[in-house]
């Protein structure tokens, strides 16, 4: 059995707090399985409790099974405690994990040397994709 997931990306700003919605199938029937909120914060600026509560409210309102906060920073200790104490169906992807995910998308390491052939989906280094010569037609 093949599981299909369909996602919808929000506009990135003024999106009501949800950046990505993931459904179990292409038809997007019923509530989404997962709501994702992305937070781009500087390293010392942890995601505050208010954002944990806001995502939980969105998960509840939309009937989603779970929520994920993905941040370039970290989630505050108080936010994690609140989530655990209230048993919110939320999880967190913080700085180190985000870095690992993004670097894992490339077949080439950041130094330009080819990494594992089974890692990532891109055959060219990022700068090669952006600076490819135009087709001569």
Q: What is the full per-residue pLDDT of the chain (137 aa) written as tens digits?
A: 444 566 677 776 766 678 888 888 888 888 988 999 999 888 889 999 999 999 999 999 999 999 999 999 999 999 999 999 999 999 999 998 888 887 776 655 555 555 555 444 444 444 433 333 444 44
Distance CA 131, CA 135 (A): 12
- DSSP E strands in the chain: the ranges are 6-9, 20-23, 34-39, 66-71, 90-93
Yes or no: say if 107 and 120 are a contact pair by the CB < 8 Å rule: yes
Query: In order of start, what are the domains of the chain with their CATH numbers?
Result: 6-95 (3.40.1350.10), 104-137 (no CATH)
Closest CA to 64 of 38, 90, 96, 100: 90
Instruction: State both tokens at 52.
Output: 């944990």
């Amino acid at each position: 059995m093949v599981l299909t997931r369909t996602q919808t990306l929000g506009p990135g700003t003024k999106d009501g707090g949800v950046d990505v919605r993931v459904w179990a199938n292409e038809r997007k029937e019923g509530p989404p399985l997962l709501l994702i909120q992305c937070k781009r914060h500087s390293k010392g600026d942890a995601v505050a409790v208010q954002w944990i509560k806001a995502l939980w409210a969105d998960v509840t309102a939309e009937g989603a099974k779970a929520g994920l906060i993905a941040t370039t920073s970290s989630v505050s200790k108080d936010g994690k405690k609140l989530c655990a104490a209230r048993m919110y169906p939320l999880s967190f992807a913080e700085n180190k994990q985000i870095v690992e995910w993004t670097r894992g998308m490339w077949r080439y390491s950041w130094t330009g040397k080819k990494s594992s052939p089974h890692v990532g989906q891109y055959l060219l280094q990022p700068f090669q994709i952006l600076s490819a010569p135009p087709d001569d037609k």
